[in-house]
Chains A and B, each alone.
Chain A
Amino acid sequence: MKSRKPSNQQKLKVQQIPHDLSKGILLVASISAAYYKAAIRLAISIKDHYPDARIILFTHESFVRDKDRYLFEEIRTGIPVHSRAKLWALDKTPFDLTLYMDCDTEVWHEDISNIFDLIGDNDIMITKIREYAGKVVKITDNDAMIYHCGLFLYRKTNRVMSFMSKWWADYDYQIKTKPWPWPHYNEKMKPWDQFTFWRLLKEEYTDIKIDVLPDDARWNFIHLYLDSETDKPIVIWHYTLSREAIHADAFEHPSGTAIDFR
């Protein structure tokens, strides 16, 4: 009887196959190990429904457990201890087409493997906030923050990477700068990364093509959504971690600055 174990030559062949970086999923777990554990749970759910998915995780070295490495194409550490470390990581994607997902989401359906086909000729595809289930914050009389930045698809073009990099830099500037640097906008926008996103698209990156995913609720189904939001199976469930869970597993003294990398 022949052994089913691969020969060394076969193993070598497997290792020599170049990694397909055309599309993949990017996760970021910062500040609290609760986010890391959530990211692991998410990665398991992705692999269950899309075994070929390539996932990169950005997190802190101290969170990483060896037993979780098999889930990821790569785990990159040395990230800022920052509530919006995700913004720092976005322009570091190795993929041509990236799906960014908040850690507190879960994949529920095999259609996840089709999400990349929805990009069309857009640069970014995103979902919308429902007013009854989230805060649609008004920026001006005519504008409101309608995009849910917890999940989106984006292309790796120079322009989009520049946008992502600016999103991080401007957000960090926005939360730290006194007095409020944009007097024509309400200072209440200060904590919102969606505001930075909105402002950059409106003022500096007007050429970036952004659209909403078709039947967007099923791609980012917030736990407070009504069932009537979609008549198709939910693909991505967004549950939101509790403050207690986050605080219980957070760094003892998070600096919350963009200088502290761990």
Chain B
Amino acid sequence: MMEKEISDPYWSSNLKNQIVCKFTYPNGEIVTASVSQTEEGNPDWDAIFSKFSIEQINENTAIRTRRHEEVKLSRQMEEQRRADNMRREILFMAKSDAFEVDLVRTSKNSALKSKLRKATTVMEVSLLASIIAMENYNEQKAVEITETIESTETQSTANTA
């Protein structure tokens, strides 16, 4: 049997009845092995404990757990960052589109347009843009009606004269 180097053992079970470690063989091959004690006895298990104490294995396990938690946290943060960016981008596009609508951009209601600029959700953008557009549309209609009445009156005065 080839002599092998054992390294990085850690508990792979909370019951502490299984260890994962690396075996490095003289030919350079490295194997990750899962080792547990058996009724007949396991020379690999004994070899691990002849080289490492339980405290060392506990420490290795704690380091791995910490590292794993850190990676998990950083992955979660990255996912959160991507989601926030996407949300911000969608909100930005919604605002840009809203200000491309003529009835919104030409509205004189700067207070509502300010609210639209500061909106924090797409729904808010959509509602405010609708209100602004509707109000502007009604104002434009009112002006049109007034102008028609004025023009009719002017014409009728001219006809009477």
Point out residues on A near B: beta carbons under 8 Å: 1, 3-4, 37-38, 40-41, 44-45, 48-49, 67, 106, 108, 237, 239, 242, 244-245
Contact = CB atoms under 8 A, between A and B. Distances in A.
A242 B92 contact: yes
Given A1-B150, A37-B100, A239 B114 contact: no
Chain A interface, >50% SS class: helix
Contacts of B105: 40, 44
B89 A48 contact: no
A28 B135 CA distance: 32
Nearest to A110: B110
A251 to B, nearest CB: 19
A108 B154 contact: no
Interface string B48-78: 0000000000000000000000000000000
Contacts, number: 38
Interface of B: 85, 89, 92-93, 95-96, 99-100, 102, 105, 110, 113-114, 117-118, 150, 153-154
Given A239-B92, A245-B89, A1 B153 contact: yes
B1 to A, nearest CB: 56
B99 A41 contact: yes
B150 A106 contact: no
Given A49-B114, A244-B89, 20 more contacts: A1-B150, A1-B153, A3-B150, A38-B96, A40-B105, A41-B95, A41-B96, A45-B113, A45-B117, A48-B110, A48-B113, A48-B114, A67-B102, A106-B117, A108-B114, A108-B117, A108-B118, A242-B85, A242-B92, A245-B89
A45 B150 CA distance: 33
